[in-house]
Structure 1
Amino acid sequence: MSTDKDDDQPDLPLFEDEQALLDALSESTIREIDSALLTNCAHSWRKVARVVGTTMMTQPFKEMRLPDVCYATRVVALVNQRKLESAGNLNYMRYSEIRLPQDSESAMRSSAK
């Protein structure tokens, strides 16, 4: 078990400067981030930190240099919109998980018929 004090500190909520960065993004950029986060999710559970990190390392987000907590805030928004399911405390990216809703898989199959 890690003894690093930072492990006990929640990742969210955002600090004022981080919130200002997120607030400055256009609606289309927010939609791009949300779409990329959803693309990096699966119907099986994945750590929020993994999904956020993978998203941050893809273009065009790699060059944006937004803090990981900005992406984590979008994850929370997607959970609140029921586009993702969560387990654990989303304030801690490393200790929470997300997945695509289980019913969306069956809904996608039904709409394909």
Structure 2
Amino acid sequence: MTDDDTFDTELSPAERERVAKLPEPDLALIDAALLSQASSQWRKVARVVGMAMLSMPDHLEDVPDAFFAKRVALLVASGRLESQGDLRRMRFSEVRLGSV
């Protein structure tokens, strides 16, 4: 598998276990951070995720970027963000604020 074939949203079993325990308020914080980094202009998902992660409280510092990318996909599915490209690959997809 080449770098171009890998998906950024894969979580290890330990990561899945960690994020499964996140309470709803933490998920809301993550979503708000992601939305705050989005714009009406297209931005790489990697940028949105990275900047959102930098803005998070210390108790969420061990939440993996792949989980943030999965939350981006959920925000797209809900219509809060629009996307282009393959959302499983952060460097090859972009998002912008949705029209909802």
Query: TM-score, with normalisation over the residues of structure 1?
Result: 0.79
Matches of 2:38 and 2:20, distance apart in 1: 24
> Which has the larger strand fraction?
2
Instruction: Summarize the alignment of residues 1-113 of structure 1 with structure 2, pairs less than 5 Å apart.
Output: 5-60=2-57, 64-101=61-98, 103-104=99-100
Matches of 1:61 and 1:52, distance apart in 2: 16
The alignment's C-alpha RMSD in Å is 2.0
Structure 1 residue 65: Cα displacement: 2.1
Identity level (%)? 42
**Larger-Rg structure:** 1
Q: Which 4+ runs in 1 deviate beyond 6 A? A: none
Matches of 1:75 and 1:17, distance apart in 2: 21
